[in-house]
Amino acid sequence: MGRELYDAFPEAREVFSLADSLRPGTSGQCFNGPDSLLAETVNTQPCLFAVESAAAAVLTAQGVRADMAAGFSLGEVAAIAFCGALDLSDAFRLVCLRGRLMQEDAEALPSSMAAVLKLDEATVTSLCQEHGVYPVNFNCPSQISVSGSTDAMTAFSAAVKAAGGRAVPLKVRGGFHSPFMERASRSFEAELRQVAFRPFRIPLYANLTAEPYGDSPKDTLSAQICHPVLWEKTVRRMIAAGADTFIELGPGKTLCGLIQKTDSSVRTFCAASAADIESICREVLSC
């Protein structure tokens, strides 16, 4: 992932060079994997950050400007840098720490995640309460991701099926955005106390509140690790604030799909390749 951007744009090469200078081997992991290595949280987070930030740098150089921003989970740290509140190097260091802390919690408290499909929020929440599982990512209508212990998830998945839904296991190493990550959240908060944030140049909508970041970015960013991602609500509030075009930065089209399921009237683009960048510039800059 990210190799096409690296080959085609000097701005992307600058981002990957910075990442490699702070964490040697990052670009190699992005470009070559293998999947088993990238699946480790300590690697997943800095690699995704590098690809997302490279795409952002390329679009910025092409003249594409955002009026507001949001980032899903670790993407929120990349979005903080994009919005000018942190230098890219400081944000990258924080992402590396975040990935390590969350992997440590995942190894200390074995847990997993699943995406629940075809059930409404009330039903999923009720089933979670019955089985000691946590609803953590409110992605879009009829799709909520949950976190739980290995034993609890087995019984929970069976209950979801009995209720007419489907629980799809996620390829992650722990129960993120839940109380399983409380120690990581506290340790991350302590590190954030040493970091100086600047004012945001554009509004950044927070996973924690589905509202633009306020005067306590450190509290918001640390609490995000062990609290739900309010993505559907975030998208709706951004649309209400005037957003009619969303550009997903980084590999894949997952967020574009969630946004379309939330409100199909808006335009969505992904920015993972040179062809994607060309299409975005043609469609967005011509408006």
For 103, other C-beta atoms within 10 Å of its C-beta total 19
Backbone phi and psi for residue 270, each to the nearest 5 degrees, phi listed first: -110, 150
End-to-end Cα, the chain, rounded Å: 29
Identify the burial level of 135 via C-beta atoms within 10 angstroms of its C-beta, where 0-12 means exposed, 13-18 middle and 19 or more buried: buried
Q: Which among 53, 111, 145, 177 is annotated as catalytic?
A: 177
Regarding beta strands 143-149 and 111-117, do their DSSP bridges make them parallel or antiparallel, or are they unpaired?
antiparallel
Q: Is 73 a catalytic residue?
A: yes
Question: Facing residues of 238 across strands?
Answer: none
* Torsion 278-86-199-176 (CA) sign: positive
Q: Which among 73, 185, 187, 222 is annotated as catalytic?
A: 73
Q: Is 177 a catalytic residue?
A: yes
Identify the burial level of 171 via C-beta atoms within 10 angstroms of its C-beta, where 0-12 means exposed, 13-18 middle and 19 or more buried: exposed
* C-alpha pair distances (Å), 286 with each of 63, 66, 246, 278, 283: 11, 15, 15, 12, 6
Query: Catalytic residue positions?
Result: 73, 177
